[in-house]
Chain A
Amino acid sequence: MSSRLNELWLTLRIILENKSSAAGLIIVLAYVLIAIIDFVYPSLIGVHDAYALIPNFSDTVPSPPSPAHIFGTTFPGVDLYQAIMAAIRVDLWYSLLVVLGGMVIGTVVGVFAAYYGGYVDEALMRFTDIFLSIPYLPFAIAIAFFLGRELNNISIALTLVWWPLYARYARGQTLSVKENTYVEAARASGVGTPGILAQHIVPNVLTPIFVQISLDLGTVVQVFAGLVFIGFATGNTLLPELGTLISDGFQYAVTAPWTIFFPGMAILIFAIGMNLLGDGLRDALDPKRRT
């Protein structure tokens, strides 16, 4: 176990040594922290209700940033700072579900395809290709349409759209890992298929997939908010979600540009942080660059 800890420590050190990946790590940690605080003790960051926007019907017109509302307010009289802080939890949570779900399905399919090879491989990969035959956004729209317009269903739709990419990575990785002598050694010493898969293949396949996840999460947050933006969250207008905030603000944007500027910035900064961290992780886990 201590060797694993050492590995982790080394990775962290490589990330922190590089200024841009360190910045990425700090941004991502800040977002995660906000999401956790939303969950356990929202008033710590001044959020009164992390699950619903608090409207102010006596003054619904957006007002510019001021000491009382540092990001201003948006329709209907919602404090934008609180709304964004609460929305970060929602967007992060659903996007995380997408990449984790995609990772699980993709890894299972990819590892089985590569490990068993032959017809299993051919069948599973052709099945995967079919999912890649429709551009992901129209495809996600169609899935969400048929499942029903709900946030959970957007997550399911995006997972169904995203897993084929992970299946391909997992397959490629398994193909190279399974040829290693340590896998042969394990088989020779009598370890069964489940043991080989669990102890030798999957751990070595997951590392590059984690890198891919970190590179994807920023994009998933954008796409998730985009789907909500074009009209998914119809049932719940007081849902704190960044895409909803952008579309709510849109009708006032010409006179009140802050209503779309700040929610968009929240997505942009997270995506930048995630991409910086992802690039750093990829470099850090690249054996060629580790000593």
Chain B
Amino acid sequence: MKLRYYILRRLLFVIPTLLGLTIIVFVLIHVQGTTNLIGSYINPRAGNIAGQEHAVIKLLHLNEPLPYQYLYWLWQILHGNWGYTHTGIYSGPVTNAILLFYPNSLVLAIISFILVTLISIPLGVWSAVRRNSLGDHLTRVASFIGYSMPIYWLGLLLILVFASNDVNPVLNILPISGTVSTTLISSASWYSRGISYPTHLLLLDALIHGRLDIFANALEHLVLPVATLTYGTLAGILRVTRSSMQDTLSQDYVRTARAKGLPESVVVKVHARRNALIPVTTLLGYTIASLLGGVVLIETVFNYIGLGYWTTQSFLSNDLGGVMGATVIFGLTFVFANLVVDVAYGFLDPRIRY
């Protein structure tokens, strides 16, 4: 199969997945009955609640059989009508909330993902090559603890270490909560209630408005959440890289390569590493899933205003629109991230194009 057919096939496969995803969300909504669903489509500012209720029932065809309801609901979702969310941090259309909160979470997840890949794969390879050395043991212990540690607890411990102003003034160098210093941002007219304008990506907006001090401060606010998320996520890839590399190093063709006198660095880099990384790439999808889950916990712990923070807020304030919107957008992100990983995989590994 040629590469473009593989990519096309993979693209087509997204359609049933997305249908499945929306069916699950639809079924979940209907477990509760339709009262809350109607509520989530009512704009409290527009008044005439009874009239709006009536309009929603008509819009979503709530008096027809469930399969029809699903199609009409899906039609609204496809047209960007996701209802309203009401939480302490934002009240308004769900799609707006996603536009506002998504960018900051994306930055958090992407930086962590890059760091996870950059640290765990080389370290795993190194650890397997230096098997049973002190460095290997330390790496294994560190990754084992990272794997076993509740990520939100690690975040809390870091907050304690860096917040204990009286106990340890030396370590009081990093901000422990929020996305930016409130005193610094209060002078900016393009920032209000945790959200920056026009791109809603604080780092970018700070640059657009020429505020390097806010940019630097926002970066500082990213350090602890990113560090926590990275450490909590990298252990899985590290373990698989190490064991896969170890298996590969004991293969016959590696022994042959050594026997014919190739330098060890060539054996490791050319013969072993490339093959050892194949099972690792299949794990990237899982890593993305745990990163996205980690975002929810980490944003809550660090009061980092983003998609995850909004998800927990909607959850706690019984806001159906928010929970539904967050679930769909997390699912979409995951499906498309996996798509990108698979297509990249197709480019890297010729065997995939059977």
List residues of A whose CB falls within 8 A of some B CB. Answer: 126-127, 129-131, 133-139, 141-143, 145-147, 218, 222, 225-226, 229-231, 234, 246, 250, 253-254, 257, 260-261, 264, 267-268, 271-272, 274-275
Contacts and interface: CB of A to CB of B under 8 A. Distances in A.
Contact of A254 (B145, B147, B164): B164
Given A142-B323, A231-B312, A134 B24 contact: yes
Q: How large is the interface on B (under 10, 10 to 19, 20 to 34, 35 or more residues)?
A: 35 or more
B31 A268 contact: no
Contacts of B16: 126
Given A135-B290, A226-B152, 11 more contacts: A133-B24, A135-B333, A137-B292, A141-B312, A141-B323, A141-B327, A222-B148, A222-B149, A226-B151, A268-B149, A274-B148
A130 B160 contact: no
Nearest to B17: A133
Nearest to B148: A271
Interface in B293-340: 293-294, 296-297, 300, 311-312, 315-316, 320, 323-324, 326-327, 330-331, 333-335
A254 B31 contact: no
8 contacts: A141-B315, A145-B320, A218-B148, A226-B152, A231-B316, A264-B150, A267-B153, A268-B153
B289 interface: yes
Given A133-B20, A141-B296, A145-B315, A275 B330 contact: no
A153 to B, nearest CB: 11
Contacts of B29: 146
Nearest to A227: B297
Q: Is the interface of B mostly helix, strand, loop or mixed?
A: helix
B335 A146 contact: no
A229 B333 CA distance: 25
A222 B25 CA distance: 25
B156 interface: yes
A137 B293 contact: yes
B28 interface: yes
A79 B293 CA distance: 32
A94 B116 CA distance: 31
B32 A141 contact: no
B131 to A, nearest CB: 16
A246 B288 CA distance: 26
A226 B150 CA distance: 7
B323 A145 contact: yes
B163 interface: yes
A130 B156 contact: no
A253 B323 contact: no
